[in-house]
Copies of this chain bind each other. A is one copy, B any other.
């Protein structure tokens, strides 16, 4: 152990996370908040140093001769495998389609990698496979290559699925988390927190008066409509998945070096979600979504973006929820229902493990 608490390892390079402080991986490292960010920045960005990865876009753009391709990967470890409104199979298709969409790309093809646990029921695997099939058919994007591994009983958890996708970025589109500018407007395509609460309701055995389902949905079509409507005035796209709206906006604020001011009353949250959050001690701003997209657009394009979304089945409840400001660069703050203002920090620790 060296004097600064960072261990010198046999590979010759210093481990950039102080091992005495963080000796092992914790669930919070996968929660989408501050700990996840630390792991990504200190381990992965340093190791695989390249400009695409640094954009932290949950998807990268690669130029191949004359084409601009988007490339994105996601592993799904959700528990339980089946939940109201979907299952790990449909989620694995929607998740990667949405990652490509937020690169401004038309999805072209997907891969699927399965890690199965010995003893997993074949009937469940078939149900999941059929659900992936249906989701892939619905979005019209084929799964063209795959891989299957099996681990011994007790070394996995039924099934984990990785999907990776490639897409074609339309000409003239340049969406980047760094593009947000003061004066821009923040929109979301509908009410937040449904995926996380639907999954938690199964885990915790909660029942609602009306059925609450995950919002899991493919958003590539909605995004392409918005791009058609506002073109280069669309600055940033981000899916508020793990870590919720708060974490996604904190990442953008940090990357673009701007402040983001939210208006609590304008953020759509269903009553069931609000109620469940109260019972579970959660804040809807931090709860995962799987069919929601945050958009940052130039003020001049806000009305067009809103109308376009509201005309789309996945955007009927779209809303303007805030704006980009000069003050408090790197911070997100919220004007609350009762008129006060508070800082909305990035998720620290884990709130909802294995939510996707």
Contact = CB atoms under 8 A, between A and B. Distances in A.
A88 interface: no
In this complex, the interface size class of chain A, counting residues with CB under 8 Å from chain B, is 35 or more
Nearest to A15: B126
Interface stretch (A112-120, A228-236, A274-282): A112-120
Given A19-B122, A25-B119, A69-B64, A77 B149 contact: yes
Nearest to A131: B11
B122 A25 contact: yes
A31 to B, nearest CB: 8
Contacts of A16: 126
Interface stretch (A39-47, A192-200, A293-301, A309-317): A39-47
A220 interface: no
A59 to B, nearest CB: 6
Interface string A285-313: 00000000000000000000000000000
Contacts of A59: 145
Interface stretch (A159-167, A205-213, A256-264, A330-338): A159-167
A36 interface: yes
A345 interface: no
A148 B39 contact: yes
B29 A162 contact: no
Interface stretch (A50-58, A172-180, A321-329): A50-58
Interface stretch (A150-158, A181-189, A244-252): A150-158
A53 B120 contact: no
B122 A22 contact: yes
A300 B121 CA distance: 50
A344 to B, nearest CB: 23
A196 to B, nearest CB: 15
A39 B118 CA distance: 13
Interface string A54-93: 0001111010111101011111110100000000000000
Nearest to A145: B60
29 contacts: A10-B127, A11-B126, A11-B127, A22-B122, A24-B118, A25-B122, A27-B150, A30-B151, A43-B126, A44-B112, A44-B129, A44-B148, A47-B133, A48-B142, A50-B142, A50-B143, A53-B143, A62-B109, A65-B67, A72-B145, A73-B113, A73-B145, A74-B113, A77-B149, A113-B162, A149-B160, A150-B353, A151-B354, A162-B164
- Smallest CB-CB A-B distances: 3 pairs: A30-B150, A73-B111, A164-B164
Given A25-B122, A74-B147, 11 more contacts: A23-B121, A24-B118, A25-B118, A25-B119, A27-B118, A47-B132, A60-B109, A62-B166, A69-B166, A149-B354, A162-B164
